[in-house]
Amino acid sequence: VSMKNLYVKNAYTTQKGDSKGAISLYCTVNGVEIQVRTIVLRDAEGNLITQDQFIGKTIDVKGTIDYYLPEGATTGTYQIQVFSIDDVTFHD
């Protein structure tokens, strides 16, 4: 799935476990909230890409639809799972 013109209003980076460094992006587009989840992302030089590189930016993404159910929760959230920084386009 792909989505365009997502404004990243907030983000959270996982701090522990197997997904340490993965980022949840909390976005809006046309008044609708969309959650995007990344794996641990690195740039071409191998440097870790952080949430600060996303917050306040408008992006297009390509990924798969995933359902996240937090531990102990009874309802979860659908999100777009992004597997590569190449699947993210930043607007100028």
Digit-by-digit pLDDT tens for the chain (92 residues) are 999 999 999 999 999 988 899 999 999 999 999 999 999 999 999 999 999 999 999 999 999 999 999 889 999 999 999 999 999 999 97
pLDDT at 27: 98
Beta bridge partners of 85: none
Whether 59 and 6 have beta carbons less than 8 Å apart is answered as yes
Q: Collect all residues with Cβ–Cβ distance below 8 Å to 14 and sequence separation of at least 6.
A: 20, 21, 22, 23, 24
Whether 10 and 55 have beta carbons less than 8 Å apart is answered as yes
Report the distance separating Cα 36 and Cα 38, nearest Å.
7
Q: Which tokens is 33 given?
A: 């909230």
pTM of the full predicted structure?
0.93
